[in-house]
Structure 1
């Protein structure tokens, strides 16, 4: 019995000890940040602790990025300092960029590796270049001008095109006037990769220094005009200081530009006039109207086979973007042409100029002659510009047998004009129409709010900058341009960031970039 009792006491002691150990372990596991395994995508404290563990740091970085809790900023800065692994630094730099961690700027600058070789040299060089690329991108978005000189140095010494591109874009985002000469040298370097030159053009536009104008004007024509859209946007961002050089070029007085076009058979006649005029239209300075009108008269004297109509459409587009009523005479003159694209451009210009005296000409050519496809854009323009005076005419036209293309345009225009009959000059009524299920009505509402200069409609219009109809987007652009407020700029930036790389709205979103440039320049 005595032995059994001793055995029982021993077993009891062992069980108590075991239970105490289990309780201790469970207690430790319940303490914040002390779990043996952190839960993926949650529990920031645990992952912050894991940053100190070399075996867990990679997962910790990825999970903290996913969680998005900014209390991890300071620990991430310490982790960035503590590690020398470029793979981890690259990922942390991306988090700083995404979170806007301005306190990370000094350590980011200090960590740039200016000695990294080309990617193909070694895996180490490749990783260092990826790190430098992410650091440069982060420094650009964080907006601290102390990064300018290090970025200029990186742009000049890096052996990686991707790093150079990131440094160039960052300098543009920082508005680095100190970098203008270096950027111009890149743009003018015919041995530089076209993508690098393209990004240098972008940066010059972001910086907005008039010193870049002459070079950017030439970029409208260089290398088969592949830089045209980027140079056009850059000049629009610079704004009014670019007008004299563009006007001189359009009038054929820019010797260097003429030489580029004359020595390249792949650049069509009319490019000099057309490219400069479109850019002047983007800038929107009224002083450009007279030279454009002068150029139209000159081009009208050309032989038909010398790209006459194509050039005229670009000039008429520019007048439409300027909103100059003197453009109506030319826009209505070419409404009767047999070509769909010419009619479309003229109808669009008339709608933007917004003089309703042109409605009769639109109606005349919308109802007579030509392929049905050439009549549809005129019918659409009647809907966007017209009043309920044209409602009955469109309804009568719709009762007759019509080509499907014309019928579709008529149905949409009738809805637009019915909305006008209901709202007329009532701003609140038009604001409510922005939420209509019919895209034609939303489009009409945007144009009418622009014509009414309805400043009280800005918030409602901003909600529709990302409308899924491209036509509505253009209506919203027209309205915001007419109203002239800079309030929509953050929403437009967010949209462009979200839809970056999208082909569906590529044209509309380019025009949003132009709109932002116009609004910013007007507010200066």
Structure 2
């Protein structure tokens, strides 16, 4: 008598998916091996969009073999975006032989080394600065800022003070000094910030750099700038003050919550959170309800959740349940509570979802569902099960399945198994089967 082995449908689907993935990977390898430049450029763009690193080793061979500046630049930019450290030796070799290479390839190599903070590139970058090679100066400055130390800060400061340095390059140098944390540059940066006749962008970069260096000497000029005439400089100064403790810095941040320019108020809200300024909380609650700018309103709502505390969280729960409040604010409150207080606010989140599920207008429910599947906290699993995986809309169910898979929520394994076996929509069954195999 013949016996038949029963294999669950979801296991067969998972095996089929794995085979398809392997075939697709080999097809891409063939493009790398045999493709023309345009095909490789298209593939690199696709890998970048997918954030896929499986073919990095193959692309490294392309970098070594290709003489196309466009292709080299594309590969190095991809590696830089992925912050993949495997191409450091190849990039340094490009710098070393830069007299025989295109400027396009050399600058791409400098940009890559900056992205991965590779100290191996510092000797060549220093040489570029010392010999003032104009084609490569901006990227070399950025590399020294990202990967350098005290000895590099002295070299950068010399370039900053040079009369031959252009405004654009000086701004690059200011940013690099901030990245390094160059205390030797504080006095010069303070002078730049205080120069109200100077270029606005340069003053903004000086404020940003002073915030990164975190030297307390910078607080008075930053406070002056936070109360100055130019709103963009005010915003940069308020952001920088967010790293400093002390009454003077905190008072300037709180007052900036009342600035007439939305961008400055936005900076003040963020700075209040970074310093956990309790005196700012009443102002932020007011902004969350009443600010005329949508971005400031949303940031204030996020800030209250981040600051926490009984009064702030209750404010957000009340805002969520307030049917007279504007829909974007209610969605922002839902998202903030889901991210920062999913357990403590579970009842309010459930109540809001239930009310909107019964509503004739599905728009707010869909927004709440999107917030659920964009989150990462497994504490939201009961809400995802009730309002996403059991949704009558198959697209919403698929989004819920992807959330379970991405966050490895093993507590919903039984729900996925049921979807893989019994859902009426084939694409849902297939997606659930693949997710189940990943748990």
Alignment of 1:42-441 (within 5 A): 62=34, 98=60, 127=67, 141=86, 154-155=97-98, 157-158=99-100, 160-165=102-107, 168=110, 173=118, 175-185=120-130, 188=132, 192-193=134-135, 196-208=136-148, 209-214=152-157, 217=160, 225=168, 228=171, 231=173, 234-239=176-181, 242-245=182-185, 247-252=186-191, 262=198, 267-268=199-200, 271-283=201-213, 285=214, 288-291=215-218, 293-299=219-225, 302=228, 306-307=229-230, 309-322=231-244, 327-368=249-290, 370=292, 374-397=296-319, 398-399=321-322, 401-415=324-338, 418-419=341-342, 421=344, 437=372, 439=374
Alpha-carbon distance in 1 for matches of 2:259, 2:176: 34
8 A Cα contact 1:180 1:212, kept in partner: no
TM-score (norm 2): 0.51
8 A Cα contact 1:252 1:273, kept in partner: no
8 A Cα contact 1:152 1:167, kept in partner: yes
8 A Cα contact 1:201 1:231, kept in partner: yes
Pair 1:339–1:182, CA change in 2 (3 A): same
Q: Deviations over 1:21-43 (max 9, x none)?
A: xxxxxxxxxxxxxxxxxx9997x
- Deviation of 1:164 (Å): 3.5
8 A Cα contact 2:107 2:139, kept in partner: yes
TM-score (norm 1): 0.44
- Deviation of 1:272 (Å): 4.4
Give 5+ residue unaligned stretches, structure 1: 1-38, 43-57, 64-93, 102-107, 112-125, 424-435, 446-467, 469-524
- Deviation of 1:217 (Å): 4.8
8 A Cα contact 2:192 2:202, kept in partner: no
Question: What is the number of residues matched between the two proteins?
Answer: 301
- Deviation of 1:362 (Å): 1.6
8 A Cα contact 1:249 1:276, kept in partner: no
Pair 1:318–1:440, CA change in 2 (3 A): farther
Alpha-carbon distance in 2 for matches of 1:280, 1:167: 29
- Deviation of 1:134 (Å): 11
Alpha-carbon distance in 1 for matches of 2:32, 2:265: 60
Pair 1:358–1:62, CA change in 2 (3 A): same
Which has the higher relative contact order, 1 or 2, with Cα contacts under 8 A spaced 6 or more apart? 2
